[in-house]
């Protein structure tokens, strides 16, 4: 009976994780829903950020996101980031990693693994 209960527990934890996906049109919506305070969206996003999407797992605390920005904010945004060693296209800021695509004015981000 104990093995059965453990099996059911493992199946539920594997298939029914606490994953949420949120989309925000602007930074105003991000702030309204307190996504920055919750750690789902980094506070470094440019004011012009739009079409912001984030996925977070409450069980593992992993966060993945993407946003677009206006070109006029690119230089100021990039100045706040530090390059990650051994990578020419990944940058860090606090507990987040960023992969900017300056051709499409978009950025993918995630939180850093806790081992780093």
In a domain, 56, yes or no: yes
In a domain, 10, yes or no: no
In a domain, 37, yes or no: yes
* 73-90 confidence digits (pLDDT tens): 999 999 999 999 877 789
**30 with 53: CB under 8 angstroms?**
no
In a domain, 2, yes or no: no
In a domain, 32, yes or no: yes
113: CB partners within 8 A, 6+ apart? none
pTM of the model: 0.80
pLDDT at 3: 74
In a domain, 98, yes or no: yes
Enclosing domain of residue 46: 18-111
Asked if pLDDT for residue 113 goes beyond 60, the answer is yes
| Lowest mean per-residue pLDDT among 5-9, 59-63, 92-96, 111-115 | 5-9
**What is the number of structural domains in the chain?**
1
Which 3 state secondary structure label does DSSP give 81?
coil
In a domain, 27, yes or no: yes
């Amino acid at each position: 009976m104990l093995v059965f209960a453990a099996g059911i527990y493992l199946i539920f934890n594997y298939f029914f994780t606490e994953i949420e996906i949120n989309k925000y049109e602007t930074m105003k919506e991000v702030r309204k829903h307190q996504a920055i305070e919750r750690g789902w969206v980094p506070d470094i996003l440019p004011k012009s950020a739009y079409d912001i999407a984030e996925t977070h797992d409450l069980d593992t605390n992993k966060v993945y996101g993407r946003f677009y920005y206006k070109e006029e904010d690119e230089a100021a945004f990039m100045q706040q980031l530090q390059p990650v060693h051994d990578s020419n296209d990944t940058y860090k800021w606090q507990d987040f990693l960023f992969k900017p695509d300056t051709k499409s004015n978009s950025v993918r981000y995630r939180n850093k693994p806790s081992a780093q």
